[in-house]
């Protein structure tokens, strides 16, 4: 499906009213990987919302990335409770296994590694989200297996 066709389908499902903008953007982000200027322009035209507002809304939310992202986005919690329980070692392990630095995408486009704020699992830190899935009580030595598993699945 072309970008335009996807945008149209999503807007048909979610609705064209202004208050549907966030669900529309969230759905496009998950279907198309990130919100490129082309996508945002289409949304602006079809929903009849000024481009500045569409862009402004998209860039406000950290899960609505406007830059190209890997197929799987890893968000490691950087809040103090996870930090106290070994988050830095987990980050190092992730950087080693994926051969990227925090904030970067792997060359095969499969993974983006990034940090995020409190994920709401502070009693079983360190925690990370991979797309929508939660991985808790992480240990550096378990990271290679987790990444392998995701590689196989997708």
The Cα-based distances of 11 to 1, 34, 71, 110, 113 in angstroms read: 15, 16, 23, 27, 30
CB 100 → another protein: shortest distance, Å? Answer: 21
Which of these ranges, 1-9, 23-31, 96-104, 138-146, lies near another protein under the rule CB under 8 A?
23-31
Length in residues, the chain:
154
Question: Residue 47 and residue 55: Cα distance in Å, rounded?
Answer: 13
Name the residue nearer to another protein (CB basis): 17 or 152.
Answer: 17
According to the binding rule CB under 8 A, does residue 18 interact with another protein? yes
Q: How many CB atoms are closer than 10 A to CB 103?
A: 9
Q: What percentage of the chain's residues is helix, strand, coil (to nearest 5)?
A: 55, 10, 35
CB 120 → another protein: shortest distance, Å? Answer: 4
Name the residue nearer to another protein (CB basis): 60 or 103.
Answer: 60
Helix (H) or strand (E) holding 111: strand 111-116
CB 107 → another protein: shortest distance, Å? Answer: 26
Name the residue nearer to another protein (CB basis): 82 or 100.
Answer: 82
Is the backbone of residue 64 left (phi > 0), alpha (psi -120 to 50) or beta?
beta
Site residues (CB under 8 A) for another protein, limited to 50-89: 53, 56-57, 60-64, 78-81, 83-84
User: Footprint of another protein on this chain (CB under 8 A)?
Assistant: 17-23, 25-26, 29, 49, 53, 56-57, 60-64, 78-81, 83-84, 116-125, 129, 132-134
């Amino acid at each position: 499906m072309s970008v335009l066709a996807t945008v149209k389908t999503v807007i048909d499902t979610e609705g064209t009213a202004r208050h549907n903008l966030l669900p529309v953007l969230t759905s496009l982000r998950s279907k198309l990987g990130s919100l490129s200027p082309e996508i945002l322009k289409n949304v602006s035209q079809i929903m009849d919302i000024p481009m500045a507002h569409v862009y402004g809304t998209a860039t406000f939310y950290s899960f609505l990335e406007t830059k190209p992202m890997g197929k799987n986005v890893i968000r490691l919690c950087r809040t103090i409770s996870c930090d106290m329980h070994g988050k830095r070692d987990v980050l190092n392990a992730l950087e080693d296994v994926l051969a990227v630095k925090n904030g970067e995408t792997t060359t095969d486009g499969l993974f983006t590694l990034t940090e995020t704020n409190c994920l709401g699992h502070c009693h079983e830190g360190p925690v990370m989200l991979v797309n929508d899935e939660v991985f808790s009580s992480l240990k550096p030595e378990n990271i290679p297996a987790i990444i392998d598993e995701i590689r196989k699945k997708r």
